[in-house]
Amino acid sequence: MIEEIRVRGVGGIKEAELSLKGDFIVITGESGSGKSSLVRAMEFISGKRAHTNYIHALEDSADVLMTLSADRIPGLDQEYQPQDGTLIVRRQFSRNGRGRSMIQNNPVSLNLLSSAMEKELVIQSQFAQLGLIDPAIQLDLVDSCGGDLLDQVKKELEKTFCETIATERKIVGLKKRREETEELYQGAETVLQMIKALEIDEESEKKWEAELKELDTKETKKAALAEINERLSGGTACGGLIEELESVCRDIYESSPSKREIWKESIENMLISCQSVARMLQKELHDLSAEGSIEEAKERLEKKIGMLRKLKRSLDLVNCRQLIEYSNKAKEEMAWLKESHVELDELENAAAEKKKKTKNLAIELRKLRKNAAAELALRVNSHLRDLAMEQAHFSIDIEEQVKLRSNGAEAVSFKLSMPDQSPLPVGKTASGGELSRILIALQLSLGDDRLPGTLVFDEVEAGLGGRTALLAGHKLRELSKRCRTILITHEAAIASMADQHFLVKRDGEDTSILMIMDEDREKEIARMLAGDDNSYEALEHARSLLNTSQNGAASE
């Protein structure tokens, strides 16, 4: 709870320091004196959004330092934890829009400051009554009375619900990927078979084109050699050069029979050489033919190159490397596609189980909420009777919703009824004063674990007066025994009940905050009663109120 608060440059407060004592503390002052500036300072230190118009007109920055007594705060690192039960928080904000937040003199983010202060300081403004109309706040108030079991079931429902949603998203994502994969790799089995049959590597196309060029060269060479061989050795239609040479040699012999021996050696050598050349040509042709049919080899290569180019065109690829990458990817994706149905079945089974569990948890949570709502309504009605609302009956409707959410499938409605009147939502039937009393009754009905270290009410008693204001004061004092309660008020009867009283005064542009006691307090109570702190009757009434409150406090 708050022990000290130092404010500089917030609203009308140039500088003020408050040291808090006691359980029930009131802050009073004339309208427009600057009480709201103190509330803004407390909102500022609790992590609310800052605005430059919050800064005092004569200051360049706002600065709020607060000392609290606190136990260990869940979620905070050790360096930010209370030391010897003391927590020091600070926040600064300048006109240029820059700010700084600190816990235990260590810089922190605004989110961390807000989180740390969440259970330490709660401010209920004069508009907090409007929160009673908010179904989300109503639901939270009901849940606060459900104890650990409701809290546990609620958390388990939220966890299971989120897991179910996550699983269903996985199913949708998996189905979408399967559809995309099937579309992308439609006919991929045939393509993969073609790629496998081609036995390609990254250089296949270049190698095959080089081989085809080499075959063209061989084919040209073979044709040329065959033609030479035919000219030399002759063919089926006619003889060749060798045969013609032999005929020429015979003619030589016949023309000069006497010189046959002279010609013989030269003629024989010539014919032997020609026959040797013919044999060499025939061997070369035989060797070329022994390698297989060039035409068939060319046909096979041209077919492979054609298939390769067709594959590239159909897949919109540029080279063999991309084709190999496609092949590898396609194999992986096709394998995944075959195996993914198992994963899909598992996910669908898991989703069905989680949905079933979510439904059961939602049913259990609804039962617990109905019990909590009945308990909360019972407590609130008990407090309302003490607040002069004996004829009113507060009730809570738990209505089942079709759509299940992470926090259940219920809509909560706070209702109020008078004798011979059907229950109506509090926002439609309750007056401002009744809403104020319901708000106080609800705070009193919460468990101690739901109450903050310090609870600030900003004119929450607005709309009350006379006996109802007095009764509200007693209830606020009762609440202060469970958590430190600060009330900004215009009600003298309530102010007289406080353990500590601060007076807010305004002088020009400056607002001062002073703790008042004895005579000063009597005068302030008198001012609140009659608007005149010098009125004898008002002063007597003020003394009477203070004495009554002191006697009541002594008997507690």
Query: Does the structural domain 1-120+452-511 have CATH classification 3.40.50.300?
Result: yes
- Identity of the highest mean pLDDT range in 113-122, 207-216, 452-461: 113-122
Residue with tokens 């000069």: 256
Percent of the chain exceeding pLDDT 70 equals: 96
Give the Cα separation of 175 and 259 in Å (integer): 103
Q: By the 8 A CB rule, do 90 and 66 touch?
A: yes
- Lowest-pLDDT range of 208-212, 284-288, 469-473: 284-288
**Structure confidence by residue, pLDDT tens digits, 294-323:** 788 888 888 988 988 898 898 888 998 998
Q: By the 8 A CB rule, do 30 and 15 touch?
A: no
pLDDT at 271: 87
Predicted structure pTM score: 0.70
Does position 211 have pLDDT exceeding 90, yes or no? no
Tell me whether strands 484-488 and 454-458 are parallel, antiparallel or unpaired.
parallel
Percent of the chain exceeding pLDDT 90 equals: 48
- The first and second tokens of residue 4, run together, are 């000290």
pLDDT at 82: 93
The residues that bridge with 18 in the sheet, in sequence order, are 5
Q: By the 8 A CB rule, do 163 and 352 touch?
A: no
pLDDT at 555: 60
Distances 12 to 62, 239, 489, 490 between C-alpha atoms, Å: 11, 130, 18, 19
**Smallest Cα–Cα separation from 499: which of 546, 457, 466?**
546
**Structure confidence by residue, pLDDT tens digits, 482-492:** 999 999 999 99
Task: Name residues whose C-beta falls within 8 Å of residue 220's C-beta, 6 or more positions apart in sequence.
Answer: none
Q: How confident is the model at residue 43 (pLDDT cuts 50, 70, 90)?
A: very high
3-state class of 68 per DSSP?
Answer: strand
The residues that bridge with 502 in the sheet, in sequence order, are 27, 515
- Lowest-pLDDT range of 176-180, 234-238, 411-415, 535-539: 234-238
Residue with tokens 């009434």: 541
Domain boundaries, the chain: 1-120+452-511, 203-318, 516-556
